[in-house]
Amino acid sequence: MDEVEVKVLDVNRKELAKKLIKLGAMKYFEGEIYAVSFDFPDKSIRNATRTLRLRTKGSKTYLTLKNPVDNPNIKIREELELEVSDFATMKKILESLNLKQWRDVKKTRISYKLKDALFEFDKYHEEFEYIPEFMEIEVMAKDDRQAVKKIYEFAEMLGIKKEQCLPWTLNELVNHYKK
């Protein structure tokens, strides 16, 4: 299944959360996320624009592989994810396969769900603390065009213009806000 998402910068979380709740959204997560990205020493995963990530979300741990889907206007990635029982053991398994940790990210996330869309407010900590809180609008879909259409419809309902919906990765956020 594909993950279709955009980032919206310079958000007022309290105002948007009120709008989401008024539209019928339910808050389903609030907590810390710790994510570690892995790659081989030759950087073959990153060079293929893939991401191999191990992360904790609250009390759960997930291993995720993200593969790119070519679309310049919106971020679309095939997402293969499974829950694993133990972060430390999974990390050791990956390292024993000669995968190296190249990035770790800590953030606070507040998530809402409305129909088949997720609205996630992220605030990074530590290394990326300088990036202001932003919102992601995400739809998991088999039909990417329908997902893109839904994202823009939800953005419009929240008073967000299509031009404010950015297909950015963390690297693009870093480049945008770099001091």
- Tens digits of residue pLDDT in 77-120: 889 999 999 999 999 999 999 999 999 999 999 999 999 999 99
Question: What mean pLDDT value characterizes the chain?
Answer: 94
Nearest to 124 by CA among 24, 51, 33, 43: 33
CATH fold label, 2-177: Hypothetical Protein Pfu-838710-001 (2.40.320)
User: Where exactly are the structural domains of the chain?
Assistant: 2-177
Model confidence band, residue 179 (pLDDT cutoffs 50, 70, 90): low
Is residue 69's pLDDT more than 90? no
- Average pLDDT for 154-162: 96
What are residue 7's phi and psi, to 5 degrees?
-110, 140
Higher pLDDT, 72 or 129: 129
- Average pLDDT for 48-57: 96
- What pLDDT is recorded for position 74? 75
pTM for the whole thing? 0.91
Model confidence band, residue 68 (pLDDT cutoffs 50, 70, 90): confident
Is residue 138's pLDDT more than 80? yes
Query: Which of 17-21, 74-78, 115-119, 136-140 is least confident?
Result: 74-78
- What pLDDT is recorded for position 75? 81
Q: Which residues contact 24 (CB under 8 A, 6 or more apart)?
A: 114
Within a 10 A sphere around the Cβ of 147, how many other Cβ atoms?
Answer: 22
Give the burial class of 122: count Cβ atoms within 10 A of its Cβ; 0-12 exposed, 13-18 middle, 19 or more buried.
Answer: buried
Model confidence band, residue 143 (pLDDT cutoffs 50, 70, 90): confident
- What pLDDT is recorded for position 144? 81
- CA dihedral sign of residues 130, 31, 74, 3: positive
Q: Give the CA-trace dihedral at 85, 89, 93, 95, to 10 degrees.
A: 130
On whether the CB atoms of residues 66 and 3 are closer than 8 A, the answer is yes
- What pLDDT is recorded for position 27? 97
Place of tokens 């994202």: 151
On whether the CB atoms of residues 46 and 140 are closer than 8 A, the answer is no
- What pLDDT is recorded for position 72? 63
